[in-house]
Amino acid sequence: MKILSDTFGRKFPYIRLSITDVCNYKCSYCLPQGYKKNPGDMRSFMSAAEISRLAKALSELGVCKIRLTGGEPTVRKDFFDILKDMKQNSNIPKITMTTNGYQLNKIAKQLHEVGLDGINISIDSLNRETFKKLTGHDRLPEILEGIKILQELNFKSIKVNAVLLKGINDTYEDFEKFGSFIKDNKIDFRFIELMQTGDNLDYFKQNHVSSKIFKDYLEKNNWIHQTYGKDAGPALNFIHPEYKGKFGLIAPYSKDFCKTCNRLRVTSRGDLRLCLFGNTGISIRHLLQTDNQKEELVDLIIKQLHLKKESHHLELGDTGITPNLSTTGG
């Protein structure tokens, strides 16, 4: 089997696959004005057939995990068709997704029945009013109901993501509230350090806070650093003997963050991105039109890995060609 690897010895068993740029939320750090079509790129999103061919090709490159992202992936009417096909036909062992959870309480049972292997849900605050202010939607109770349904179904892996924001969820009191949430719940809760993108510089300057504040809290409260498997990536993970859940931290501005990079990205319009904050991308969509193009597609992806840089340069304010995180399945 061919394996995806770069010139720095890193292997890439994990693909983040965006299936739409559309999101129905207006999160203050991502799409504060809501989703708007990019007039400079009127290409359609990949079809279910194109996505299916891509997944099958990736399985021949040692990929063991695909995460469906967006935008919000469930806004696609054919979302479950795409998910079912991946589970049944792709030979990828682990299919997961990231969602804002807006209809989680309605689709949780169906996600379980289809065989989804893991879910990441964005919840930046457990305070209903703060959640509404951040997202533009008063949906927190429904999301928490959806999580409860998944737990009752013994769903395999539930993760909750929150973007660390100054003055919103960055105090020890806030961390304690999230800790209470996972104390008796088998949930991985991860803080993600706010990242600068092409269109959020002012917001970033006002709201960025170093991830060190959360790491200091964890160390002070006896959380123990834990290592994960090959598809886990650069997140730092922590366990505590008194908690059923786990804490995690994604700190893209930390030293050596990119050393453990293990993922590539494909945008909803079929562009291969070697880095979330890279300056280049290449379309692979022309090789997703027929089944007999698979070998050519595999070879092209392998060749592109030789162009992957050792590190991004977020610390220098270089955000690459990412205007906001909805365009690359951040």
Domain boundaries, the chain: 14-327
* Predicted pLDDT of residue 325: 60
- Show the low-confidence residues of the chain (pLDDT under 70): 228-233, 312-330
What pLDDT score was predicted for residue 321? 56
pLDDT at 257: 75
Q: Of 213, 212, 222, 223, nearest to 247 (Cα)?
A: 223
Please tell me what DSSP assigns to residue 7.
T
Please give the distance of CA 118 from its chain centroid, rounded to a whole number: 12
The candidate with the shortest Cα–Cα distance to 167, out of 207, 212, 200, 132, is 207
Comparing C-alpha atoms, which of 249, 260, 265 is closest to residue 193? 249
Count of Cβ atoms closer than 10 Å to residue 195 Cβ = 21
Other beta carbons within 10 angstroms of residue 141's beta carbon come to 11
Under DSSP, the state recorded for 203 is: H
Report helix angle 79-89 to 48-59, nearest 10: 30
The CATH number corresponding to 14-327 among 3.20.20.70, 1.10.1040.10, 3.40.640.10, 3.30.160.100 equals 3.20.20.70
Do 189 and 181 meet the contact criterion of CB atoms below 8 Å apart? yes
pLDDT at 130: 97
- pLDDT tens digits, one per residue of 296-316: 999 999 999 988 888 766 665
pLDDT for 259: 82
The C-alpha atoms of residue 45 and residue 65 are separated, in whole angstroms, by 21
Angle at 118 (CA atoms; ends 180, 151), nearest 5 degrees: 45
- pLDDT, residue 52, reads 98
Q: Report the half-sphere exposure of 291 (CA within 13 A, side-chain side).
A: 2
